[in-house]
Every structure is written in C-alpha cells, then in structure tokens.
Amino acid sequence: MDLDLTGRTAFVSGSTQGIGHAVAAALVAEGMSVVVHGRDAGRVEDAVARLVAAAPSPAVRVHGIAADVAERTEVGRLLAELDALGPVDVLVNNVGLFGVAAFTDVADDEWHRYLEVNLMSAVRLSRHLLPPMLERGWGRVLFVGSESGVDVPANMVHYGVTKAALLALGNGLAKLTRGTAVTVNTVLGGPTWSDGVADAVEGLARQQGLDPAALRTALAAERPTSLLGRFIEPDELAGLLAYLASPRSSAVNGAALRADGGVLTTLL
C-alpha cells in the first residue's frame, strides 16, 4: 500500500532509539522527511546518519534536534529550531520514561519528572504544532501510549498514571479537529523489546547472574494474558503508526488503537 506520505514532514520525539527510531525509519522509507530528537547531541547525529543512509531518495530530508524535554527552556529552544525547518505535517509524541518502583519509593521530584517528560512534553509539542495543522487543513498528531495506561501496573503506578493522562490528552485534542482533515490518535503498545527495555533486562541479568535470553523469556511469561507470548518488536508498532500518519487513515480519529499483543483482556 502506498501511504502517500512523500513530500510531507514529521517530528518524532525521542527517536534516537527504540520505538521512536523505528517510527522515524518507517516514515523515511515511505519518502517522508523526518526531524529526529533526543537528549544527547551525539546520539541524535548518529540517528540522523543512519536514517540518511537508508533514505530512498535525496529528496527525503532528515534533521536532528537535541533537547531535554524535561526542561521548559529546552522545549522552547526545540520548538524554535523546529519552526526554522518549516511546517510539520505529522507529530509523533513518543518520548517517555519508564521504570519499576514501589509506589511509596517514588518521591515528588520523580513524579514531576515523569509528568514533565511523559505528559507535558506532548502537551507543549501539540499546543505548538496542532494549530498550524488546522490552519493548513491537514495534519496528524499521534501518541505512543501503553496498555499500562489502561491497566496500571502496581509496580509502575507513576508510569501508568502518566500514560493514562496521555490517553485523555489525545481524546480531548481529537475533539478540536471536528470537521477537518486533521486527526489525533493514540497507539496502545504492549510490552515491547525496545533498547531501553533490553538494557534494563541485561543489567538485571548481570545482577542476578542469569542468562539475558532466559530472563527475557521469563519476563514475557509473566504476562499470561499475552496472545503473542513474547515481547513486541518496535517495528511492529512502527507499521501501525506509519499508517495512522498517512492520508489513508482519514476515517480514524480520536481512537486508542491496541497493538498490545493481546495483553489487555477487555472486549474494546
């Protein structure tokens, strides 16, 4: 299927690795110009180089911006640099923090950090980029959500709460697009074998003297409701997000689409 994305431009937050990078790569493969983002300038440059090398034609432009979205001043600079690159047709709100911690061990400062990165980055980016999309008459705002926003895990309450708030944000913003060709949608990912998860599992395996591959299998088995019976690969989410970024998805708006591998047991 031709997704008809050639000539359009996307900004993908948190796209130097993991799901974000997979989404950026999928959009570049469709002929879309992409602006990648991360906290570390070196990693941003590396991600840009990889995407440029994979671009299907010289007309596909890839730029990078390094900024810490936990800092408001950094977000302001990011938005100014983004404006200088030209109009953004597709915003993918992907950047996020996750971590296992007991509810009583998560102090206020950590709560604020999770809220700033997981929620407020999406608020600020959407607030800046959605109005121009409405003025131009076409656009896509996408949120990379999580099944943890629907079924909040007891060992990651702080994470789950921010993902639940992200769902509410997407639901509300979609109502602002009524009668236009702009859409707002959320993808509810399930347990995904991203770079961050892989690093965490390898670190845990070293601490416990376990084989990382065996630990990966054991962790997947801890989610007995999963119909996949394994971790999701970032590319599997990227394909759905690329479709939602395209004009082909024009009838999908205000939706929370599950790509959770069957972990959630609800009918809808």
Instruction: Please give the full DSSP string across 52-103, using - where no structure is assigned.
Output: HHH-SSTT--EEEEE--TTSHHHHHHHHHHHHHH---SEEEE---------G
DSSP 204-216: HHHHHT--HHHHH
Q: Copy the structure tokens of residue 73.
A: 């001043």
Domains of the chain with CATH codes: 9-192+232-259 (3.40.50.720)
Report yes or no: 244 and 170 within 8 Å, Cβ to Cβ. Answer: no
Active site residues: 159
Report yes or no: 192 and 234 within 8 Å, Cβ to Cβ. Answer: yes
Which residues pair with residue 66 across a beta bridge? 38
Which residues are CB-contacts of 257 (< 8 A; sequence separation ≥ 6)? Answer: 185, 186, 187, 188, 240, 244
pLDDT by 10s per residue, the chain, length 268: 899 999 999 999 999 999 999 999 999 999 999 999 999 999 999 999 999 999 999 999 999 999 999 999 999 999 999 999 999 999 999 999 998 899 999 999 999 999 999 999 999 999 999 999 999 999 999 999 999 999 999 999 999 999 999 999 999 999 999 999 999 999 999 999 888 888 877 887 788 888 888 878 878 788 889 999 999 999 999 999 999 999 999 999 999 999 999 999 998 8
Q: How far out from the chain centre does Cα 74 lie?
A: 19
Q: 182-189 and 139-146 as β-strands: parallel, antiparallel, unpaired? A: parallel
pTM of the model: 0.94
